[in-house]
Structure formats: C-alpha cells, structure tokens
Amino acid sequence: MKILQPKQGNYQLQNYESAKNSFSWDDVRDVFTWSKTGKINIAYESIDRHVKEGRGAKKALLYSDPSRNETYTFEQLKKLTNQAAHMFRKLDVEKGDRVFIFMPRAPELYIALLGAIKMGAVVGPLFEAFMKDAVKSRLEDSEASVIVTTPELVSRIPVDELPHLKKIILVGDDVKTDEKHFSYSKEMKACTDDDSAIEWMDLEDGFILHYTSGSTGKPKGVYHVHQAMIQHYQTAKWVLDLREDDIYWCTADPGWVTGTSYGIFGPWLNGATNVIRGGRFSPDDWYDTIEKNNVTVWYSAPTAFRMLMSTPSDVIKKYDLSSIRHILSVGEPLNPEVVRWGWEVFKHRIHDTWWMTETGAMLICNYLSEPIKLGSMGKPFPGIEAAIIDNNGKKLPPNEMGNLAIKKGWPSQMRKIWKNDEKFNEYFAFEGWYVSGDTAYMDEDGYFWFQGRNDDLIMTAGERVGPFEIESKLVEHKAVAEAGVIGKPDEIRGHIIKAFVVLNPSHEYSEELEKEIKTFIKTELSAHAVPKEIEFTDKLPKTRSGKIMRRVLKAWELNEPAGDLSSMDD
C-alpha cells in the first residue's frame, strides 16, 4: 500500500486544484471585522464574534483532568476573557507589553492568554516543565512585565534577577499576595465583563511570542501578528475540515505553536467545540478522552501515534472510537508504518501537515479530498508557493533534493525574531524566499517529501542519506518501537550510519536480532542505508513536541556538550 485514495465525502475543500487556482487571502480577510472597521483582534474573532452572531450558548471548551471536569460556552468565555483583559489593564499592562503565561493546561491558562491578547498585549506561553534557566532566559529576552503562574511553579521564576518583571499573578486557592504578587481569582472578581476591554488592533500588530530552540544558540522569540488569524482560520477550515458541529481535540500544549495556532485559534475562529485535556496521559486516557467527548477531529503527532501503536491491541478494543472522522499529524515525519496502523485500527487515513513555529500555520498538507502518498507531507496549501531551491537560491526540478523554501509573504509568517534582526534575516537570505532549514524534494505530482533537517543529513561514502528514511524503515521491523539515526564521523566514509533503537517491550536484545534488523534494512531499503552500528537504548532524547533530537544523540556519541536542552522532554 503506497497510496491511499480519499473516501467519498462532502469536504470543505472539495477540489484542491480549483481552489489553488482561484484562492486569495484577501477574500478570507473579509470574513472578519477588519473589512468593516480596518481593525481586528484575534481574541475577539475567536470568541466574541460567535456571541455577536448568535452562537453564544454553544459549547466552546470541554475541559477535563483527573480532578476537574468543566464546560464553557462562547458567552462564558467572552465574559471571562473581558474580565481578564480588564485585570491586566488594572495591573498597568499596556498595548504591546509582554505578558507571559507559565502554568499547566487549565481553563485559566486559556482565559488569561485570550484576555491579555484582547487588551493588546503580546503573550508568551511557557511550557510548565521549564526549569529556572529556561524561564529566566525567555523573560529576560522578552522583557516581560507580567507573568501568570501557579504557586507550584512560582519558585522557578527568579524575580530578583528580572528587572522588567513587575507583577506575578498566581492562579490557585488562598495564594499569598504582596506588592508584586496578585491573586488571579481576587483580581478577576474585581473586574467587570464589559466590552470596553477590547483593544482594536492593526493587522500587523503583534499578539504572540513563541520561543523556539535552533540547532545552535539561545532560544529565539518568534513574533506573530494579529492577521495570522486569516491563515489559522482558513487552514483549520480546509485542512482540519472543521465545522461548528465538530468536537475537536488537539493534543499539543500551548507552550508550543501547535497548541496555540491549532489548540486555540484555528478551532475557535471556526466556532468548533475545543476539547482540552490536562495532565499527562496514558494510552487509556487518550482513548478515553476521545470516547467520552465524542471527538470528531483529532490533531496529534507521530510520537503519540507510535506510542499508541506499541501498546497491546486489547487496550484500544475497550473503547468506542467511532465518533472520529478525521485524524491529522504534525511535528516530525509521519512514518508510512504509522499511517498503515491508523488505517487498520481507525479506518481513517492519518493526514500529515508540515509547518514550523516560524511559519505560524500549516503550509504543506494532505487533504481529505486528495490521495495520500505514504511518507509524503502532501502539497502546498492554496495561496502558498513552495519550492526546492539549491544553495544559490535557484529552483530545482522535480525529484531533486534541496532546501525546502516558501515564497515569502503569507499571512501567518513570523514578522521578526525578537531583538534579533540578524537571525531573522538568515531565513530570507535568498531574494523572495523563506528558507526552512529542512531538506526535501518535490515529486512530479507536486507532493513534497521530507528528508531531514539540513544539519541532520548524512553523507556516507559519497551517498546522501536522510535519517528519516532509515528510521521509518527501522520502526517497520516488528521488534523496533522507535529509532533515531545520525551520521557518525568516520575517516574513510566521511560518516557512517549509526542507529539508536528502542525495542518493543515484547522483544529482547540478541546478536541475532541485531543482525536481523540490519538485514531487514539492507533488503527493504538499500545496502548503503544499513546502520553500521546499532545502539540499543531505553529512551530517545526528544523535544516536547515529540521530535527525536538527533543533535543530542550526536553529542552523546561524540562526547560533546549537547547545547541548549530547554526544549527537551524530561
């Protein structure tokens, strides 16, 4: 099975080719208030607009964790985010100031984040597992003046070392307050819920800063503007295929861009019901969340699918997952093996989507109405021009590997790297193009195939090998749960291929097994792709969005410092 044909259905993007030819971002802008007033606010359009248009009683948020189970309508969220906006004003936050949110997923996180955006602040979501150094570097760089956090996390904020940080808002019961520390619930209670909270913004005003690690240097503050919502809205409509009656679950935390662009804005701009699950979850929790909420559209990541794939199949049999109609993936290469598994157990194709923190929204995707080529990321979203260019900025013909680049100027494109123009300009070194740092090729049908990050590509004995291809093949072996592949310097071959392999619990290491895996790669892929060395390990270093951190594997291998590890999962 190499191509999965679309199922018959009535999809919001029914004809990709004709959409591609006739689509214009300007038409989408007109959906929103901007067309009438020249001003927008992404928080208003996500929440208040639905109340204004008569959908106030609709369920917007279904929240659950082991101790809470709450439902919020659009009307309720409108009031709460108005209160939050007034609260930030009262605490002297002004338009353009940075407000950081550092807490586990909970309704208050979403209310505070939207409230801050509503009154014109630029929000900075921080993942709850960040420790002191990671928190400090981000607050320092952004010069944030206010942070919303919890009593459990507050000790990780070195207030005395952060001269710009003026106020800390604590979410929790009976919190201690002083001239710097405020109680979220008390401050919220003291605020009204009227609409004068809304700050009307220009298309190019900023609303969010997402810090992301590069392969070198300190984390970069990727800055996005309000009109990004045009693309959040349209991609959620055409790729997630979201409608108002959908119950949608994005498993990402808002500390990462997937958890905001598609955990908050994409679904709510389209008026869908958004499921948020707090806490860490086991395979049972994943399936339980889908069953209990009747989730219809599910957006997750290969690492999660692989984890579910490696749990015994009797777990999934306990649950009724028939509510699902559409499954999507992002963050790292989607192995064909995972797509096949998804097809078997869910009877649905898993749709890959490609984009980055810097791109703000999806750019290359698989669509419900289009065939899926297994292993390919799909085709550019209508209105997006993608190409493979060489190291001089010249476009390459189909089937040649090179830099994956995007014609610059899409709505959700980052507008700057906070206080770092030099880094920003590096992405646009070739006239007219944004260069992603990914290597890929485009086939004759216009499908894009991911090969690796530029810095991960392996040259071995004059052959160019993408680690992803080998990793994908390795996990197809019945004994292999996960695999990370790097190039290890070698005097004769330039690099040799080294694989780090996590075995399925049902298998144990033996020399024979190691040989068998190598033969498997040799016979299934090619001789030049066979890992010369395999190291068996319990765990692979990964980012919290699930990407295998090959540079950490490399550093381990070479006994070198691993660099910035703030995005690494514990």
Give me the residues that bind ligand WT7 (CB under 6 A), please.
212, 257-258, 330-334, 352-357, 377, 436-438, 450, 453, 545
Q: Which is nearer to ligand WT7, 201 or 309 (CB)?
A: 309
Q: Which is nearer to ligand WT7, 175 or 328 (CB)?
A: 328
Using only C-alpha atoms, the chain has a radius of gyration, in whole angstroms, of 23
Q: Which is nearer to ligand WT7, 83 or 235 (CB)?
A: 235
Reported as half-sphere exposure (CB side, CA atoms, 13 A), residue 317 has a value of 3
Cα dist from 405 to 388, 395, 433, 560, whole Å: 6, 9, 6, 31
Q: Which is nearer to ligand WT7, 302 or 531 (CB)?
A: 302
In angstroms, what is the minimal distance from the CB of 488 to ligand WT7? 21
Main-chain dihedrals φ then ψ at residue 102, nearest 5 degrees: -130, 85
In angstroms, what is the minimal distance from the CB of 253 to ligand WT7? 11
Q: Which is nearer to ligand WT7, 260 or 270 (CB)?
A: 260
In angstroms, what is the minimal distance from the CB of 343 to ligand WT7? 18
Cα separation, 228 vs 360, whole angstroms: 7
In angstroms, what is the minimal distance from the CB of 450 to ligand WT7? 4
In angstroms, what is the minimal distance from the CB of 545 to ligand WT7? 5
Q: Which residues contact 14 (CB under 8 A, 6 or more apart)?
A: 369
Q: Which is nearer to ligand WT7, 137 or 323 (CB)?
A: 137
Two tokens at 292?
């209990």
In angstroms, what is the minimal distance from the CB of 476 to ligand WT7? 17
In angstroms, what is the minimal distance from the CB of 261 to ligand WT7? 8
CA dihedral 294, 295, 296, 299 (to 10 degrees): -170
Q: Which is nearer to ligand WT7, 48 or 332 (CB)?
A: 332
Q: Which is nearer to ligand WT7, 130 or 355 (CB)?
A: 355
Whether 238 and 13 have beta carbons less than 8 Å apart is answered as yes
Q: Which residue, judged by CB position, is nearest to ligand WT7 in the bound state?
A: 357
Main-chain dihedrals φ then ψ at residue 385, nearest 5 degrees: -110, 120
Q: Which is nearer to ligand WT7, 88 or 355 (CB)?
A: 355
Two tokens at 476?
């197809």
Strand ranges across the sheet with 533-536: 480-490, 494-503, 533-536
Whether 403 and 409 have beta carbons less than 8 Å apart is answered as no
In angstroms, what is the minimal distance from the CB of 135 to ligand WT7? 19
Q: Which residues contact 175 (CB under 8 A, 6 or more apart)?
A: 151, 181, 183, 184
In angstroms, what is the minimal distance from the CB of 365 to ligand WT7? 9
Q: Is 227 helix (H, G, I), strand (E, B) or coil?
A: helix
Whether 127 and 252 have beta carbons less than 8 Å apart is answered as no
DSSP label of 172:
S
Q: Which is nearer to ligand WT7, 310 or 545 (CB)?
A: 545
In angstroms, what is the minimal distance from the CB of 211 to ligand WT7? 11
**Angle between the 74-90 and 107-118 helix axes, to the nearest 10 degrees?**
60
The closest alpha carbon to 566, from 141, 111, 78, belongs to 141
In angstroms, what is the minimal distance from the CB of 12 to ligand WT7? 21
Cα separation, 241 vs 407, whole angstroms: 25
Q: Which is nearer to ligand WT7, 46 or 472 (CB)?
A: 472
**Angle between the 283-293 and 302-309 helix axes, to the nearest 10 degrees?**
110
The closest alpha carbon to 111, from 74, 142, 139, belongs to 74
Beta-strand pair 297-300/273-277: unpaired
